[in-house]
Structure 1
Amino acid sequence: MDQQSIAFSTGRAGEGPLIWAQLAIWDVFRWLPPDDTTLNLLVTCPVPAGRELPAVLDALRRLVERHDSLHTVYVDTPDGPRQRVVPEGEVPLRLHDLDDLGDVGLEEAAGEIGEALRRPWFDIGADLPLRAAVLLRAGEPLLVLLAASHMAVDGSSLDIVRGDLANLLADPPIVLEPGQQPLERGEYERSDLGRRREAKALAFWARHLDTLPISMIERVRGDGPPNLDWGLIQSPALALAANSLAARHGIPPATALLGGTTLQLAAYTGEDDAALRMIVSTRFRQASRGVVAAFNENALFRLECPPDLRRTETVEQLLRRCADAALAAYLHCEYDPRALEALFADLGRRRGVTPDGYCFFNDTRFGARDTPPLAAVPDEELAERVADLLPATKLRSPVIDRLPKGANFFMFLMDLGETAEIMLCVEHGFFGRRGPLGFLTDLERLVVRAALDTTATTGALYAAVR
């Protein structure tokens, strides 16, 4: 390995308060154990054939210079946390020649080197939040790896960064203006328009808080640390069922899965109502589409399923309500996260609970919006296809060191193409004796039945997993 650096100079220095989404992740960092690295992110980008190392290094320099968040430090001050854009400096770079690693292939080497690049701690107050590596063979660059702190980027940002780097590695690249910088986003949030949007979002949350089921809010672990049980499902049958529902009813596949998850969450907790805090990339305005930053906030997805509705509601009607609920959630998710936590704290005092046990849904399929939908399977073939795929379902209980903040239930959707890959952690005891593997198994059963049984009602699906 050859240790080098990427020197950059932008002439752009600046400082300001954190934007809303940065403040949300800042508070997560302050909650996690010291030196925690579980939120570090990694992305890879292949190098086109024929590109030489100097051109790759120049592309990396220009990439860093395009996005302020990649050369920003985040510091605590008496006036609160602030971001400081560093106008010039160096980003650590490692060069790895695969010929020095024996018979190790590119994919295996990328996995090992990527993890070694991702794992070390970022001191976000002193160090730049980015590290890079280039994998070569016989001097020819093959792959670029970038590790970044979640304080600087979210998953959607990595898609933007990867796309920018791929463009900069092209010969010639397309000339593109960089997206809105975080300090510019902060100006919008402090503007009259930004404040009106925030007020509307907080009012939406406030309208719902008094009537949300306590089980969707209350911490169940007591005063002890989180005690999380983890489960993972890999199911081609669940993917086929969710995608079939999506094609049949004209909704995104993730919405079908979101609806099934929320309905089942209500059934598991014995409620007529359930709510998920969705992790949402808030790139809704044209100006903010290209922001590279920590830019995720929580959106409230609520699904009410009273008994009288469950008796007659069809799957199609359920999914239409889910699509409407998802849209309402997206419209009300831009706000100061500490203002929202103040609403929950007030709720806790009024309802006599500790509001620190939420249910989360995080679609981590970065770039999923750009993925074309799978071809629809004719209804007459669907049952046979599902039956063929069900034996391929895999379930396991991974050992995970992540600690989602304030969660009784946290679902990560990682793939919904040919295979549904979902990881779920549940606070021990939240479901009684039933844990995450039971929930994931029942979720597969529920979504498959919804896709196959055209006469199923919401009540029948609810009762089947109750």
Structure 2
Amino acid sequence: MTPVAAFRGTRTAEAPLTWGQQGIWKIIDVMAPNDAFLNVRAVVPVPQRAAGTVDSVAAAIGALISRHESLRTRIVVTGGEPRQVVVDAGECPLALIEATAETAADVAEQAMERLRHHPFDYAGELPIRVTLVVADGQVRFVVLILTHVAVDWYALTLLGRELRVALLRGEITGPVGIQPVDLAATEHSEAGQQRSARARDHWRRQFDRFPASVFTEAGPPATPRYRRAELTSPALLAAARIIAARHSATSSTVLLAAAGALIGARTGQEVCGMLTIVNNRFQPGHRDIMAPTNQLGVITLDRRGAATFGELVTAVWREALQCFRHAYYDQHVLDAFLADGGHAHGEKIEPYCCFNDMRAGDGELRDTATADQLRAALQETELTWPETFDEFNWQFMLSVSDAPGALSLSLSTDSRYLPPVEQQRFLLDLEDLVVRSAIDDVRLGDPGAHHNDPGAHHGAPDAHHVALDGRAS
């Protein structure tokens, strides 16, 4: 008999989507049925001091679903409009996988990678799937797969934390964040619409500042057309923190400024536009919401007037603050502006470039690495090619995530505009620019001059070369 996690909340409810849910749903609608790449996932180890029985884990899962309405919400399209429908009670099936104590961790990771590719029936099932990895009669790991319209990556961190507490204590105490149905009521009020109008006006001002396009076609696309390169760099983490502290900015701003400098150098555009995914949890009352809060913001990266990279970081930080302020809006209001202004091209939005810092928070820790230590750390840089895909909704997507003792930059591009050799060069040049600027503020002009050979790491005599298929050579 398949085990289940029974849940019971306090109400049923129905409401429009929140603004954060609207943005995710728009991508789902465009990409369906190939939208499973959006699924949010995690492997949560069961604490050693927890009971670890299937029944105790089922009770903890049930408590989480009872506590957070987004975990028992289906998305139903009525009259062409998606609505969130909250159920008050039910059961969540739990899949079981047997393993040994030695293999349980690997089995859990493999299960997560396999299961994350399965699309959800948003109207017909709960937005959460749970798999328990069992060894010697005890649950060792909990594999969570959730829809992105239910949670974002920060919410997933909160969920994992609460699950561990429930496993250890048998209950979850403390206040719960605002529920999405209640948030939607606030957002769709008259005050919410006024805020959306101000955001729309900001977008209009930004679109008037930069060219409509960023990249030009470089040649015929590769097959598959899109691919993702990933650079993992301890040196980049330390260098970004050093520059951020020096200029009272954030490491995310440093990376965004570096991307803007390199795009400008490649295209010859002194001013370019970029969309960036903004975590709206800084909005009052939003910190602990178990729902997606990210929305697209638009930022103008203007290199004019910045003689050094440090000056560019300061300028981008000022622009970023305005971007954050106006990245909270009703998606329908923004879509109407984009369509009326001729900025909506098919299923894509100019300027096609997107920056996404997926870290829960760097803490903006100061780093005291010396110049010699930064140069030595460059030898630990790794560049791989994790995946390719036939469809993607960006020409250029630069994502930032945590890696143990390092920073991970993931660059997904359309090979028609940025072929693999240029994709690799971009990541290495970005690392080079930030590291050199941490040592001594770099004058802008040719940020990537140290990478004439796109396979070489920083021109070192014993440079580690990376082939385009990700194999060391």
TM-score by length of 2: 0.86
Query: For residues 13-412 of structure 1, what are the structure 2 equivalents within 5 Å?
Result: 13-34=12-33, 36-52=35-51, 53=53, 54-78=55-79, 80-99=81-100, 104-171=102-169, 175-216=173-214, 227-306=225-304, 309-310=305-306, 313-348=307-342, 355-365=349-359, 367-369=360-362, 371=363, 373=365, 375-377=367-369, 381-382=370-371, 384-401=372-389, 403-405=391-393, 407-412=394-399
1:251-310 deviation digits (Å, cap 9, x = unpaired): 22222111111111122121011222111222233322221123221011222112xx24
Structure 1 contact 69–85 (Cα < 8 Å) conserved: yes
Distance 2:451 2:320 in 1: 23
Letter in 1 for 2:7: F
Letter in 1 for 2:376: D
Structure 2 contact 35–119 (Cα < 8 Å) conserved: yes
- Residue 428 of structure 2 corresponds to which residue in structure 1? 441
Match of 1:425 among 396, 401, 412: 412
Give the CA RMSD over aligned residues. Answer: 3.1
Answer with 267-276 or 334-343: which moved more.
334-343
Is there any run of 5+ residues in structure 2 with no aligned partner, and where?
A: 453-473
* Alpha carbons of structure 1 residues 151 and 261: separation in structure 2 relative to 1, 3 Å: same
* Alpha carbons of structure 1 residues 178 and 265: separation in structure 2 relative to 1, 3 Å: same
- Residue 444 of structure 2 corresponds to which residue in structure 1? 458
* Alpha carbons of structure 1 residues 350 and 300: separation in structure 2 relative to 1, 3 Å: closer
Structure 1 contact 264–465 (Cα < 8 Å) conserved: no
Distance 1:464 1:212 in 2: 28
3-state SS, counterpart of residue 368 of structure 1: coil
Structure 1 contact 221–227 (Cα < 8 Å) conserved: no
Structure 1 contact 15–84 (Cα < 8 Å) conserved: yes
Structure 2 contact 227–412 (Cα < 8 Å) conserved: yes
* Alpha carbons of structure 1 residues 245 and 70: separation in structure 2 relative to 1, 3 Å: same
* Alpha carbons of structure 1 residues 416 and 86: separation in structure 2 relative to 1, 3 Å: same
3-state SS, counterpart of residue 435 of structure 1: helix
Answer with 252-261 or 26-35: which moved more.
26-35
Distance 1:47 1:372 in 2: 30
3-state SS, counterpart of residue 89 of structure 1: strand
Distance 2:335 2:280 in 1: 18
Distance 1:44 1:124 in 2: 22
Q: CA deviation at 1:72?
A: 0.8
Distance 1:434 1:221 in 2: 13
Q: CA deviation at 1:429?
A: 3.2
Distance 2:250 2:344 in 1: 38
Structure 1 contact 241–451 (Cα < 8 Å) conserved: yes
Letter in 2 for 1:448: V
Distance 1:338 1:389 in 2: 47
Distance 1:402 1:159 in 2: 30
Letter in 1 for 2:282: F
Q: CA deviation at 1:420?
A: 2.3
Aligned residue pairs total 450
Answer with 283-292 or 154-163: which moved more.
283-292
3-state SS, counterpart of residue 8 of structure 1: strand
Is there any run of 5+ residues in structure 1 with no aligned partner, and where?
A: none
3-state SS, counterpart of residue 3 of structure 2: strand
3-state SS, counterpart of residue 275 of structure 1: strand
3-state SS, counterpart of residue 193 of structure 2: helix
Structure 1 contact 218–356 (Cα < 8 Å) conserved: no
Q: CA deviation at 1:70?
A: 0.7
Structure 1 contact 249–316 (Cα < 8 Å) conserved: yes
1:186-237 deviation digits (Å, cap 9, x = unpaired): 1111223322221211111011112321224999999999932432212222
After TM superposition, the runs of 4+ consecutive aligned structure 1 residues lying more than 4 A away are: 217-226, 354-357, 431-434, 462-466
Answer with 63-72 or 354-363: which moved more.
354-363
1:404-434 deviation digits (Å, cap 9, x = unpaired): 42x1110111227632211111222324785
3-state SS, counterpart of residue 341 of structure 1: helix
Structure 2 contact 217–416 (Cα < 8 Å) conserved: no
1:51-80 deviation digits (Å, cap 9, x = unpaired): 222332221111001111111111111151
Q: CA deviation at 1:35?
A: 5.2
Q: CA deviation at 1:330?
A: 0.7
State the identity %.
Answer: 30
Structure 2 contact 104–134 (Cα < 8 Å) conserved: no
Distance 1:220 1:442 in 2: 19
